Amino acid sequence: MKLGFIGLGIMGQPMVGHLLAAGHELFVHSRSGTPQGLTAQGAKACNSPTDVAQHADIIFLMVPDTPHVQDVLFGAQGVAQGLSPGKTIVDMSSISPIATKAFAAKINELGCDYLDAPVSGGEVGAKAASLTIMVGGSEATFNKVQPLFALMGKNITLIGDNGSGQTCKVANQIVVALNIEAVGEALLFAAKAGADPAKVRQALMGGLATSRILELHGERMIKRTFNPGFRIELHQKDLNLALEGAKAMGLSLPNTANAQQLMNSCVAHGGGAWDHSGLVRALEIAANFQISPTPTPSP
């Protein structure tokens, strides 16, 4: 198939690699340029989103935030200018559910289909083609794109109409943030009390407290490996979406708000580009104590 992909960052680059490996023709664009590794695999670099849309039948987006999606779709040399009826937009970014519904309506007016399909799993999941993909849109469009989703992810679910995928992703980010905070508090408590946090984590992995967050991010907290991964500034953006939505619905999300404040503290200390497991640093700063003072060597 002739596919387009806009956004070739930490997540987008390996996702394009999987589509290329399956034999699809890829037309790609990124503000920072196309990585040589992708062009070596056969990806065709395009000068603009319009150029991508003119060449491809299904166009994937993987960019940071709502304004970026709006600009890619409807800005100067945007995707919309290169569309013809029957093409499909698949936005795999994590953005506002409300804006998503408006974007989908405008694309539908051009005679094209739209799916919102944000992902969870981070860089590791993107490289392993094991992403969780949460989809909003029509069942017919989902069925058309599903074989391509299967090249990039494992747990692929049609949630409902346009906007539902983004709503599910916001819910996912609430769960992940609160779990990171809980793991951070637990390991900080254990370390301050004099226990070996690595052994505490190992013990907890065998009980009801076990989780992927404890497994992956608990290890990052102990080994002090806060290179992304998934940047705090992006998770901060996702929690903003949660709190904005909650305000609009008259809903209280007190622990989400607290996690957001901890991320704000990390950003204030220069940690916007830390992996989101670095949220623990805000807890450590408040406690004037660090879980693991020096990097722990791998066993």
Q: Return the H-helix or E-strand segment holding 29.
A: strand 25-29
Peptide bond into 121 cis (omega under 30): no
d(CA 272, CA 279): 10
Catalytic residue selected from 169, 192, 237, 247: 169
Copy the structure tokens of residue 175. 């769960």
Contacts of 248 (CB under 8 A, 6+ apart): 98
d(CA 125, CA 11): 9
d(CA 48, CA 187): 47
d(CA 198, CA 190): 10
d(CA 160, CA 92): 15
Known catalytic residue: 44?
no
142 in Cβ contact with 160 (< 8 Å): no
d(CA 133, CA 116): 10
282 in Cβ contact with 276 (< 8 Å): no
Beta bridge partners of 5: 28, 60
DSSP label at residue 196: -
214 in Cβ contact with 208 (< 8 Å): no
Please state the separation of Cα 249 from the chain's center in Å: 24
d(CA 176, CA 213): 7
Copy the structure tokens of residue 231. 């940047």
**Residues classed as catalytic:** 169
